[in-house]
């Protein structure tokens, strides 16, 4: 019986073997003019401006290897950066990845992680153009995404004006519901509950809605990474306005509603304060006719802060140091 020795690890391959292994699994998209293997990659930037966003994900803080497989971690790490690019109104072209991994990490986990990066990029026609690998006692992932605006003006957080409407695209509350199910060790014994858990492991950002919102004339936009209330607080502050949300206007997804029932929780709290779904929240002039992908959930008024139906809510969400 060999249990330990049959697992091929990163240490068995060595650094250059690992790099070859990873790059061999990653097809390159059209925007990548020079891929992995040199001091730097070269990416097409036809717009003459490049949009760039970076995030650091740490095992134990942003993901747990006992809760999420390598594939889900890779997809999630890529997704949260690609969503940042979409939230500017841009189309992602590529990501580069800095990876810290233990020598005893199984090659199977690393392959799954690599495939997760690649597959999430493929959703938007982007690819993994390069990276860096080093040894670490836990998994550390630094993802940087690049994107192209295709001539559009970037949609920032500071353009919201009183009289405009607030709308969301994509899922809200799924990741929080899935996290709560996992933490409670609750049996996810229905398709809906499984979907909530899957939503925690792997977000589904509405990438195409970012450039769509820019073309529709969105005045402000961001992706919901720390919770809708907290993130709209950034828009309110940057724009010098107040955001008022109508709790009745939110459609609560069936997986979120069922998980809340299962755990005796408030599904609206997950929708309003749950992070990591990477939905898009945008502000539009009132005359814009919004397609069905955007759901109006509130309005912009004079003032400051974020309120839900006239009631001040203490902003909740993540502060990594508190």
Among positions 66-105, residues that touch its own copies (CB under 8 A) are 83-85, 87-88, 90, 94, 96-100, 103
Q: Enumerate residues 112-151 that contact its own copies by CB under 8 A.
A: 129-136, 140, 142, 144-147, 149
- Give residues with Cβ within 8 angstroms of 267, minimum separation 6: 173, 177, 252, 256, 257, 259, 260
Cα torsion 293, 282, 297, 174: sign: positive
64 near its own copies (CB under 8 A): no
Least Å from the CB of residue 168 to its own copies:
15
| Beta pairing partners, 306 | 243
Least Å from the CB of residue 260 to its own copies:
28
- Give residues with Cβ within 8 angstroms of 140, minimum separation 6: 56, 57, 58, 59, 98, 99, 100, 101
305 near its own copies (CB under 8 A): no
Complex with its own copies: residue 87 or 198, whichever CB lies closer: 87
53 near its own copies (CB under 8 A): yes
40 near its own copies (CB under 8 A): yes
Complex with its own copies: residue 52 or 194, whichever CB lies closer: 52
Annotated binding-site residue? 131:
yes
Separation of alpha carbons 228 and 213, rounded Å? 18
- Dihedral pair phi/psi, residue 300, rounded to 5°: -105, 130
Complex with its own copies: residue 112 or 136, whichever CB lies closer: 136
Annotated binding-site residue? 225:
yes
Least Å from the CB of residue 149 to its own copies:
8
Separation of alpha carbons 201 and 219, rounded Å? 31
Separation of alpha carbons 97 and 82, rounded Å? 13
Q: Identify whether the C-beta of residue 221 lies closer than 8 Å to the C-beta of residue 139.
A: no
Q: Three-state SS for 195?
A: helix
Q: Enumerate residues 220-239 that contact its own copies by CB under 8 A.
A: 221-223, 238
Of 39-47, 70-78, 115-123, 198-206, the window that binds its own copies (rule: CB under 8 A) is 39-47
Cα torsion 122, 126, 128, 129: sign: positive
Least Å from the CB of residue 140 to its own copies:
6
Least Å from the CB of residue 206 to its own copies:
14
208 near its own copies (CB under 8 A): no
106 near its own copies (CB under 8 A): no
Least Å from the CB of residue 20 to its own copies:
11
Burial grade of 80 (CB within 10 A; 0-12, 13-18, 19 or more)? buried
301 near its own copies (CB under 8 A): no
Annotated binding-site residue? 54:
yes
Separation of alpha carbons 139 and 112, rounded Å? 13
314 near its own copies (CB under 8 A): no
Complex with its own copies: residue 2 or 321, whichever CB lies closer: 321
Number of residues this chain uses to bind its own copies (CB under 8 A):
72
166 near its own copies (CB under 8 A): no
Torsion of CA 176, 182, 186, 187, to 10 degrees: 110
DSSP secondary structure letters along 140-158: EEEEEEEEE-TTPPP--SS
42 near its own copies (CB under 8 A): yes
Which residues are annotated binding-site positions? 39, 53-55, 62, 84, 131-132, 157, 223, 225-226, 276, 318
Which residues are annotated binding-site positions for ATP? 131-132, 157, 225
Which residues are annotated binding-site positions for Mg(2+)? 39, 53-55, 84, 132, 223, 226
């Amino acid at each position: 019986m060999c249990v330990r020795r049959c697992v091929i690890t990163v240490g068995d391959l060595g650094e250059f073997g690992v790099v070859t292994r990873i790059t061999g699994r990653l097809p390159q998209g059209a925007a990548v003019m020079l891929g992995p293997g040199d001091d730097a990659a070269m990416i097409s930037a036809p717009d003459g401006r490049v949009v760039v966003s970076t995030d650091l994900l740490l095992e134990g803080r942003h993901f747990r290897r006992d809760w999420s497989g390598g594939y889900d971690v890779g997809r999630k790490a890529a997704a949260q950066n690609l969503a940042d690019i979409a939230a500017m109104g841009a189309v992602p072209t590529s990501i580069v990845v800095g990876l810290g991994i233990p020598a005893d990490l199984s090659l199977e986990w690393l392959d799954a992680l690599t495939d997760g990066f690649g597959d999430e990029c493929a959703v938007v026609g982007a690819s993994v153009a390069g990276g860096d690998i080093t040894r670490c006692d836990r998994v550390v992932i630094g993802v940087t995404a690049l994107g192209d605006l295709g001539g559009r003006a970037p949609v920032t957080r500071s353009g919201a004006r009183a009289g405009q409407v607030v709308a969301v695209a994509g899922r809200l509350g799924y990741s929080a519901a899935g996290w709560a199910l996992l933490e409670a060790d609750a049996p996810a014994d229905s398709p809906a509950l499984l979907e909530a858990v899957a939503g925690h492991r792997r977000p589904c950002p509405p990438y195409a809605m970012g450039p769509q919102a820019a073309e529709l004339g969105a005045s402000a936009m961001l992706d919901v990474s720390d919770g809708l209330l907290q993130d709209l607080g950034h828009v309110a502050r940057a724009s010098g306005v107040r955001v008022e949300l109508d709790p009745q206007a939110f459609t609560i997804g069936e997986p979120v509603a069922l998980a809340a029932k299962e755990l005796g929780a408030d599904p609206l709290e997950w929708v309003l304060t749950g992070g990591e779904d990477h939905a898009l929240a945008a502000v539009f002039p009132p005359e814009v006719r919004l397609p069905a992908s955007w759901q109006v959930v509130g309005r912009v008024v004079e003032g400051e802060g974020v309120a839900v139906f006239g009631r001040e809510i203490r902003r909740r969400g993540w502060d990594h140091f508190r």
